[in-house]
Amino acid sequence: MEYEDPLDEFRIKKEDLKKLHNKKYVLNRMRKGDQYQDLFGYSDETMMKFYTKAKGLFDSGEYKKAADAFFFLGSLNPTMAGYWFGQGLAEQRCERYQKALLAYGSCVAANPVDPRAYLYLGECLYKLGYMQQAEEMFLFAIPLAEPTEFKKVKKDLEKALAWLKGKK
């Protein structure tokens, strides 16, 4: 029986990788605002297919592979906060808190007003022993969680903050 790697679909074709050797081509495309997704000709539909596969890896408990898959997606299009958020969640499940911090930081750079990344940033900071920074992260995120769509996140932030203050 032949083993099929679930990440095979994420491999970049050799002919697409060759494009990276043409520095002038890459610089011109980047100056126009293109992402690597555009350079390699991946449509939004293809990216959604990759995202669905990455989420499937996460949902099935293959967190290391999911983290790699989400990192791949974020590298192709760093403006998509959801890719970085997925990587952060996967890294956090693997207890790789430093890597999770980097992923959540990229998520925040792509979408600085979504409080969910700050909640998990705070959790990772706590796990790494940075109690004060974790508290600051929770305090910063609470006002961002005011919209109704983030009602549960706000409650989670308030609980985390109260719990953290109880640890002092």
CATH number (domain holding residue 38): 1.25.40.10
Q: Coil, strand or helix: which one is 6?
A: coil
pLDDT of residue 6: 60
pLDDT of residue 147: 85
Q: Please say whether the beta carbons of 37 and 76 come within 8 A.
A: yes
pLDDT surpasses 60 at 148 = yes
Q: What is the sign, positive or negative, of the torsion defined by CA atoms of 22, 23, 28, 32?
A: positive
pLDDT surpasses 90 at 68 = yes
Report in angstroms the alpha-carbon separations of 58 from 65, 119, 136, 141.
8, 19, 29, 25
- How many CA atoms lie less than 13 Å away from 37 in the CB half-sphere? 22
Query: 39 and 73 in one domain?
Result: yes
| Average of per-residue pLDDT across 24-41 | 91
Query: 65 and 123 in one domain?
Result: no
pLDDT of residue 5: 67
pLDDT of residue 13: 81
**Domain range for residue 86?**
30-99
pLDDT surpasses 60 at 1 = no
Q: Which of 72, 99, 126 is the last residue of a domain?
A: 99
pLDDT tens readout for residues 84-137: 999 999 999 999 999 999 999 999 999 999 999 999 999 999 999 999 999 999
Closest among 83, 120, 82 to 100, alpha carbons compared: 120
Mean of all residue pLDDT scores within the chain: 92
For the chain, what is the domain count? 2
Task: Round to whole Å and give the CA distance between 151 and 9.
Answer: 37
| Domain membership flag for residue 150 | yes
Phi, psi angle pair for 23, to nearest 5°: -60, -40
Query: 92 and 34 in one domain?
Result: yes
Query: 88 and 122 in one domain?
Result: no
Confidence of residue 4 (pLDDT cuts 50, 70, 90): low
pLDDT surpasses 90 at 40 = no
Could you tell me what percent of the chain has a pLDDT over 70?
Answer: 94
pLDDT surpasses 80 at 76 = yes
